[in-house]
């Protein structure tokens, strides 16, 4: 089942992670219009950015409408939000086995150090800790590279020695390993290695496999799949376990459940889920009970039961994700990182996605692909705009801006999927990034800038909607083709498919007819933006000398470069140099749209037929390698703008208001201090031992 868990994270990067998109949104969105679409109650002028360090900015988000929820829904949000915070340590350990001791050692230092906190070295140490918090470990959340400390080992040791040993407790025994993890560049160099030809497991620092080679892991799961061959509803083998060896050298899974690995954190999650179950109404009560049963047993069939119940429930106002969901962190695309999001419907903003969903069959029937690979009946496309109330695990502090779940192909096929976009997050991001000069720097033509200004926000929203509500759910496999046939290329190709679906249709007259798009001018804004990002500006997030690794970035590069190449003779897309700076210009938007259609046809064919070689060839030719000169130029121009390329969020805090034993209200507050929130979580939501 490799590769089937890739569908959740979204176009997210386009917004909060992707500087160029952000830019477009921010520089462009007329505030009033943005506010009017969804977040009309979020108009207070408070500082949105609560911290900045390195390449990161941390933003606060508001939760409009929370106060107006009925009491039982507020209480439900509260319990689910507590559950969302309890799995945080799991992600740290999944990312790398040394992460918890490193974080705790640094937190201990940060809290106890009585020396000079104004020196450059202390500031560097503080920055390092902030980066560890942001990345949930010692590797960059996006590039996966290990952080390089800007303080010396001698300094760190001198700080440690100035603190009473008792303050460190058990951590004293970890000091040597912690120092090596921080300072030895050859140890844990990358969290996730995807270089074809290397042993992807032995060279990745993530903790999904321990002492196991790639060939052993692949063999282990191939045997498991073979034993289950022909089962139309297979579980997602390996999703919730670490693969390791026992004392005799046999491969064994250590399952993540109440009595197993990560049990101490799962116990807390279950405690709060049981509280949530008690106040939830049907059918949600049953959904939560399935999830609890899954956490208690580790049985993936129960996880499927939970997903089926979850996807069927489109009515509950409050909703949530909680579990081992995303497989992006596993080189084999099998093991899922822990995450949680708690949310409720943003009813006013749902109109857009309702219209798209209501016309799902029309879009499928007109998709520019081989008719044999269209879905005769598009099922269960549900879409809504939500307001996030709490982010946890792999959704915090960096978060997706859309969700499309569940991931298992057969559940999607038989039961459909739920798709949401998160408006209060994107709104906060827009607010935090207004006016940073990006478009002026990278967009050559005034007409493009003008269009981006007018339509950028709506174009982004609609592309996300199309990608999530329709793109991932469209198309079908040829009979007998394995959903895992595309192997390690499946994430990139799947995102490519969904993005192309969105790009193609955002320029379709149908969108105008449906009243969602004013004219083709909006597509022009989206296309110019997409091409520029895919071929150029997204390189600002990559370190010099590195390849493009992340699957959403790869997919954007693949699409833009392929279209550039295909339309080269006609100059559909053109490089223009002015004043020594390179710019990308789209000369023929209509033709570009046709190219998107042709490419969608080919990518769908590759997926439907499981054509691994063709998929590999496309990705390796267009999506991976970076032109070093262009890269250098982008980095310099981007650096001159002084914009942090990554953003993440601090959560609100919730408090039960009681009269005696009775809950009478839930109070929400918005903390404005990133460090305080992290220390608070460390003190109150850290349940795992140092070694798991
Ligand atoms: Zn996607």
- Give residue 280's pLDDT band: very low, low, confident or very high (50, 70, 90): very high
| Geometric angle at alpha carbon 556, from 551 and 562, rounded to 5° | 120
Span 136-150, average pLDDT: 96
Lowest-confidence segment of 486-490, 500-504, 557-561 by average pLDDT: 486-490
Cα 360 to the chain's mean position, in Å? 25
* All structural domains of the chain with their residue ranges: 2-192+666-684, 347-379+396-646
Please check the confidence at residue 677 and state whether its pLDDT lies above 90. yes
Global model pTM greater than 0.85:
no
CB distance 486 to 439 below 8 Å: no
Closest CA to 601 of 565, 572, 562: 562
Strands (E), 406-525: 417-422
Average pLDDT over the chain, rounded to an integer: 90
Q: What proportion of the chain, given as a percentage, has pLDDT over 70?
A: 92
The Å distance, Cα 460 to ligand 1 centre, comes to 14
Q: In what order do the strands lie in the sheet with 318-326?
A: 318-326, 337-345, 381-393, 417-422, 402-405
Q: How far is the CA of 508 from the centre of ligand 1 (A)?
A: 20
Q: How far apart are the CA of 469 and the centre of ligand 1, in A?
A: 10
At residue 383 the predicted structure's pLDDT band, cuts being 50, 70 and 90, is low
Reported confidence tier of residue 20, pLDDT bands at 50, 70, 90:
very low
For residue 562, pLDDT beyond 50:
yes
Query: Is residue 470 packed enough to be buried (19+ CB in 10 Å), middle (13-18) or exposed (0-12)?
Result: buried
- Burial (CB < 10 A; 0-12, 13-18, 19+), residue 609, is middle
| Residues 561 and 622: beta-carbon distance below 8 Å | yes
Helix, strand, or coil (residue 202): coil
Ligand 1 centroid – CA 195 distance (Å):
22
**Ligand 1 (single-atom ion) residues, CB below 5 Å:** 495, 498
Other CB atoms within a 10 A radius of the CB of residue 52 amount to 15
Please write down the HEC assignment for all residues of 363-420.
HHHCCCCCHHHCCCCCCCEEEEEEEEEEEEECCCCCCCCEEEECCCHHHHHHHCEEEE
pLDDT confidence tier of residue 314, bands split at 50, 70 and 90: confident
Q: Tokens 């074809």 sit at which residue?
A: 196
**12 Cα–ligand 1 center, Å:** 8
- 8 C-alpha to center of ligand 1: Å? 6
Q: Which residue has the higher pLDDT, 544 or 380?
A: 544
Beta bridge partners of 321: 341
pLDDT for 31: 24
A 10 A CB-CB count for 253 gives 18
Q: Which of 136-140, 319-323, 438-442 has the lowest mean pLDDT?
A: 438-442
Placement of tokens 């507050």 in the chain: 669
Neighbours of 435 (CB within 10 A): 9
Q: How far, in Å, is the centroid of ligand 1 from the Cα of 518? A: 25
The answer on pLDDT for 232 being more than 80 is yes
Q: Which two tokens stand for residue 63?
A: 């939760």
**H or E stretch including 309?**
helix 300-312
């Amino acid at each position: 089942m490799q590769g089937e868990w890739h569908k959740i994270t979204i176009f997210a990067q386009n917004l909060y992670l992707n500087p160029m998109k952000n830019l477009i949104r921010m520089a462009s969105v007329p505030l009033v219009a943005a506010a009017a679409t969804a977040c009309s109650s979020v108009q207070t002028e408070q500082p949105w950015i609560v911290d900045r360090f390195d390449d990161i900015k941390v933003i606060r988000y508001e939760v409009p409408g929370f106060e107006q929820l009925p009491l039982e829904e507020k209480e439900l949000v509260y319990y689910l939000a507590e559950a969302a915070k309890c799995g945080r340590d799991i992600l740290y350990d999944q990312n790398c086995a040394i992460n918890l001791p490193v974080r705790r050692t640094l937190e201990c230092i940060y809290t106890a150090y009585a020396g000079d906190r104004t020196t450059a070295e202390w500031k560097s140490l503080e920055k390092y800790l902030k980066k560890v918090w942001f990345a949930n470990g010692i590797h960059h959340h996006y590039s996966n590279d290990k952080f390089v400390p800007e303080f010396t080992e001698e300094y760190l040791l001198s700080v440690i020695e100035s603190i009473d040993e008792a303050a460190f407790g058990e951590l004293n025994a970890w000091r040597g390993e912690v120092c090596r993890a921080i300072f030895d560049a050859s140890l844990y160099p990358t969290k996730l290695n995807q270089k074809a030809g290397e042993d992807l497991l032995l060279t990745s620092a993530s903790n999904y496999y321990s002492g196991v080679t790639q060939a052993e892991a692949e063999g282990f799961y191939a045997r498991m799949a073979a034993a289950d061959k022909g089962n139309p509803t297979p579980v997602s083998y390996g999703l919730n376990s670490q693969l390791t060896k026992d004392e005799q050298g046999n491969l064994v899974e250590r399952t993540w459940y109440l009595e197993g690995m990560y049990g101490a954190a799962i116990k807390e999650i279950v405690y709060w889920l049981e509280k949530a179950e008690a106040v939830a109404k049907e059918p949600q009560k049953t959904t939560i009970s399935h999830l609890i049963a899954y956490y208690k047993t580790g049985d993936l069939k129960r996880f499927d039961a939970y997903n089926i119940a979850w996807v069927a429930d489109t009515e509950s106002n409050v909703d949530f994700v909680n579990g081992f969901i995303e497989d992006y962190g596993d080189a084999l695309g099998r093991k899922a990182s822990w995450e949680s999001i708690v949310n409720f419907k943003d009813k006013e903003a749902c109109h857009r996605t309702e219209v798209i969903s209501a016309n799902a069959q029309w879009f499928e029937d007109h998709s520019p692909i081989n008719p044999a690979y269209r879905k005769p009946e598009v099922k269960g496309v549900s879409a809504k705009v939500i307001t996030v109330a709490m982010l946890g695990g792999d959704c915090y502090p960096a978060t997706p801006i859309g969700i499309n779940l569940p991931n298992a192909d057969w559940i999607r096929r038989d039961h459909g999927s739920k798709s949401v976009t998160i408006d209060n997050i994107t709104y906060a991001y827009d607010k935090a990034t207004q006016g940073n000069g990006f478009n002026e720097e990278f967009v050559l033509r005034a007409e493009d800038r003008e269009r981006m200004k007018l339509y950028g926000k709506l174009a982004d929203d609609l592309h996300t909607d199309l990608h999530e509500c329709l793109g991932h759910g469209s198309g079908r496999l040829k009979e007998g083709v394995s959903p895992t046939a595309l192997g390690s290329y499946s994430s990139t190709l799947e995102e490519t498919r969904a993005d192309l679906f969105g790009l193609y249709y955002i320029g379709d007259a149908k969108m105008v007819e449906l009243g969602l798009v004013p004219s083709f001018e909006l597509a022009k804004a989206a296309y110019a933006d997409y091409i520029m990002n895919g071929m150029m500006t997204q390189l600002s997030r990559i370190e010099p000398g590195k390849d493009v690794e992340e699957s959403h970035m790869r997919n954007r590069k693949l699409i833009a470069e392929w279209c550039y190449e295909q339309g080269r003779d006609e100059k559909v897309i053109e490089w223009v140099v002015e004043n020594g700076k390179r710019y990308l210009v789209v000369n023929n938007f209509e033709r570009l749209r046709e190219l998107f259609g042709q490419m969608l046809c080919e990518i769908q064919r590759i997926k439907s037929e499981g054509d691994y070689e063709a998929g590999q060839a496309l990705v390796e030719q267009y999506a991976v390698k970076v032109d070093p000169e262009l890269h250098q130029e982008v980095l310099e121009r981007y650096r001159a703008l002084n914009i942090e390329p990554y953003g993440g969020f601090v959560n609100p805090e919730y408090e039960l208001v009681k009269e005696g034993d009775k809950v009478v209200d839930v109070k929400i507050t918005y903390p404005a201090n990133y460090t305080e929130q992290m220390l608070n979580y460390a003190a109150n939501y850290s349940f795992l031992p140092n070694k798991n």
